[in-house]
Structure 1
Amino acid sequence: MAIDPRVLDWLFDSDPALRWQVERDLTSAPAEIWQATCARVATDGHGAELLSRQDADGQWAGGAYFPAGFFGSPEAEQPGQPWTATTWTLKDLRDWGRDAETLAGTAEKLAMNSRWEYDDLPYWGGEVDVCINACTLATGAWLGADVTRLAAWFPAHRLADGGWNCEAEEGNSTRSSFHSTLNALRGMLAYERITGDPSLREARHGGEEYLLERRLLYRATTGEPVGDFATRFVYPNRHRYSALVALDHFRDVALLDGTPPDARLADAVEVVRAARRPDGTWLQGAPLAGRTWFDVDAPEGEPSKWLTLIGTRVLDWWTASR
């Protein structure tokens, strides 16, 4: 299904962080076009604004995963968590295509100054939470930090059923979760794509099989839907699983590995297709609770440019492959 020119014009009228991906993924613009737009992330819009919030010590909001002073504050009693600290801000900058060279010195500053709130561990060594470690692995590779020891953590902490679970390290679960497994996979894929190191490929493929066996949507034990979280889409999704985010990962896998889509993705594709409105857009879901630096997408219930970009490129990829 070709994208409506009116929707394309609407998507083009966007922050450079989104526009360059529209040019690359939806219009197949020449590399010099989308790369020039991507370069603007360093100087214009959301990417420039986030960098302006960086602390002198290399962090954001004074903390690794949470802002400084969060614990014991009234904000800690509220639903959700702030999304302004270092890990989340760097994830946004990386996802938006900000050139790592424009953050020169950040990796070194974080190595010296940033410690995890868990056990005061050094930043680039990661901690015990697989979702945190996955984000740190990808960001470290992007910024040129030495995260080879952290990379080895993932195969060592993979669970017997094939995936990962953030609760496992605390002894609260022996079964993998959709959320944790997808976060691990995305971190490992980014690490391999950036560094060229294939050492995590076997573990990654095993985790991808965990999701594929469940067709991205269903419990292995009963075949029932895993939960409505899988069919609720929101941007930014932060760490939350959905069929849309999972399909976007498998699209990235196909581009890196040179493989066609697995037929077991079909049910998830239909969920994404069903959420597409007649005008070719997707509506924003309920945002994750917590303070942000600023809004980057539409309010809940309104057409989302980010979800429309991701949904359209996933369906285009699937359709082209068939």
Structure 2
Amino acid sequence: MTSPYDRRMSVPTQWLLESDPALRWQVERDLLGLDDAAWRATRARVATEGFGARLLAHQDPDGRWARGAFFPGGQEWFAVQGEVPQPWTATTWSLSSLREWGLDPVVLLERDTPGLLARHCRWEYDDLPYWEGEVDCCINAFTLANGDWLGVDVGAILERLVGPAGGRMPDGGWNCSWVDGAQVSSFWSTLNVVSGLLDHEQLVGGDARAREARRAGEEYLLARRLMYRLSTGEVVGPWVRRFEYPYRGDYSVLRALDHFRRAAAHDGTAPDGRLADAVDVVRGARRDDGTWAREHRHAGDVWFEVDVPVGEPSPWLTLTGTLALRWWDAR
């Protein structure tokens, strides 16, 4: 791999272009603005090369990954939660990765993945049917987007998310701990749900209720400028500045900014001024060579690594940060 920074460029473009096809096609489309034929040709390689092909090879004959919905088969929910780190190999995480990497859903449709999961995959929570979702609104948001991507009827999941009994809070956001009595929203849960609802709109068009719910959740985050407690004005936690990929559903101002960039492009709106502090944090984390470093790695089993070791410049974070600042600075 060549040097990650060419001083004739404002961003390390050549370095980014040398990445896996799962990222390279996004560099070609979103950063370089290449014509459709070029980036689509690269995206088609996700099914046969690199991360996408490797993850597809781990799919079980019954359509699942690791014989489980959210946790690998044979691992009890309470044991995973209490004794060992969350594994990242089961079906929901694998589907989300393939979707985010740009895999053509036809590849999974030809394997009858939606039908196989309907027959063989059930949630660890109450043995509920996979495509009907469960009680955790973050899990439901991931599954809503994955189902829409694969052409599955996930109306039951959408109803859980936008309705009153599914983690939606009176303050406009969501909290996955609603079943344990949570009364106020969570930054993490809210970002996961609004991202899933945006994916829903982009994939199938959405409806008025979904748009209203998404925008209410976005307003929850904007009112807090993506990082502050509304009650005291204090930073909600050190994790808002902790950048890493894969996101694993965690919150950071970088990931939140990326959502608002995508939402603005979808809605045809300008950046909201309340994002300024978050932009400053992202800009401040940019290194002199134009990259962003990976600052954290989730513990837990993975099929294989998809990013650099902690402390090294991450192509994934560099693309995300570059696009966020370009969007903001062009306003």
Task: Tell me which residue corresponds to 2:34.
Answer: 29
Bigger drift between 191-200 and 68-77 goes to: 68-77
- Identity, % of aligned positions: 56
Letter matched to residue 202 of structure 1: E
Q: Partners in 2 of 1:317 and 1:223 — Cα distance? A: 26
Contact 1:116/1:123 (CA < 8 Å) preserved in 2? yes
- Indicate how the Cα distance of structure 1 residues 3 and 110 shifts in structure 2: closer, same or farther if over 3 A, else same: farther
Q: Partners in 2 of 1:109 and 1:162 — Cα distance? A: 36
Q: Partners in 2 of 1:76 and 1:204 — Cα distance? A: 29
From 56, 72, 75, give the equivalent of 2:61.
Answer: 56
Task: Tell me which residue corresponds to 1:40.
Answer: 45
Bigger drift between 209-218 and 189-198 goes to: 189-198
Letter matched to residue 229 of structure 2: R
Matched, 1:121 2:128: yes
Q: Partners in 2 of 1:124 and 1:195 — Cα distance? A: 16
Matched, 1:149 2:156: yes
Contact 1:84/1:291 (CA < 8 Å) preserved in 2? yes
Task: Tell me which residue corresponds to 1:287.
Answer: 297
The 5 A counterparts of 1:260-299 are: 260-299=270-309
Q: Partners in 1 of 2:104 and 2:77 — Cα distance? A: 36
Letter matched to residue 270 of structure 1: D
Letter matched to residue 119 of structure 2: M
Give me the TM-score of the superposition, normalised by structure 1.
Answer: 0.96
Q: Partners in 1 of 2:259 and 2:220 — Cα distance? A: 14
Cα deviation for residue 111 of structure 1 reads 0.7
- Indicate how the Cα distance of structure 1 residues 111 and 72 shifts in structure 2: closer, same or farther if over 3 A, else same: closer
Q: Provide, for residues 10-48 of structure 1, a one-character-per-residue CA deviation record: whole Å limited to 9, x for no partner.
A: 111110000001111111111111111011101111001
Partner-residue secondary structure (3-state), 1:237: coil
Cα deviation for residue 150 of structure 1 reads 1.1
Letter matched to residue 52 of structure 2: G
Task: Tell me which residue corresponds to 1:184.
Answer: 193
Task: Tell me which residue corresponds to 1:92.
Answer: 97
Contact 2:239/2:252 (CA < 8 Å) preserved in 1? yes
Q: Provide, for residues 122-157 of structure 1, a one-character-per-residue CA deviation record: whole Å limited to 9, x for no partner.
A: 000100001100000000000111001211111213
From 238, 244, 255, give the equivalent of 1:234.
Answer: 244
- Indicate how the Cα distance of structure 1 residues 196 and 73 shifts in structure 2: closer, same or farther if over 3 A, else same: closer
Q: Provide, for residues 190-242 of structure 1, a one-character-per-residue CA deviation record: whole Å limited to 9, x for no partner.
A: 01110012230001000000000000010011010010100110000111000
- Indicate how the Cα distance of structure 1 residues 174 and 6 shifts in structure 2: closer, same or farther if over 3 A, else same: closer
Contact 1:3/1:280 (CA < 8 Å) preserved in 2? no
Q: Provide, for residues 88-112 of structure 1, a one-character-per-residue CA deviation record: whole Å limited to 9, x for no partner.
A: 0000000000010110111111111
Q: Unaligned regions of 5+ residues in structure 2, if any?
A: 1-6
Q: Partners in 2 of 1:243 and 1:232 — Cα distance? A: 8
Cα deviation for residue 76 of structure 1 reads 6.5
Cα deviation for residue 51 of structure 1 reads 0.6
Q: Partners in 2 of 1:26 and 1:280 — Cα distance? A: 14
Cα deviation for residue 86 of structure 1 reads 0.1
Letter matched to residue 294 of structure 2: Q
Task: Tell me which residue corresponds to 1:225.
Answer: 235
Q: Partners in 2 of 1:293 and 1:146 — Cα distance? A: 29
Task: Tell me which residue corresponds to 2:204.
Answer: 195
Q: Partners in 2 of 1:198 and 1:22 — Cα distance? A: 30
Contact 1:164/1:176 (CA < 8 Å) preserved in 2? yes
Aligned residues: 319
Bigger drift between 2-11 and 105-114 goes to: 2-11
Cα deviation for residue 175 of structure 1 reads 0.6
Q: CA RMSD in A?
A: 1.6
Give me the TM-score of the superposition, normalised by structure 2.
Answer: 0.93
Cα deviation for residue 6 of structure 1 reads 7.3
Contact 2:258/2:324 (CA < 8 Å) preserved in 1? yes
Partner-residue secondary structure (3-state), 2:12: helix
- Indicate how the Cα distance of structure 1 residues 185 and 74 shifts in structure 2: closer, same or farther if over 3 A, else same: closer
Q: Provide, for residues 56-93 of structure 1, a one-character-per-residue CA deviation record: whole Å limited to 9, x for no partner.
A: 11000000000011228987765421100000000000
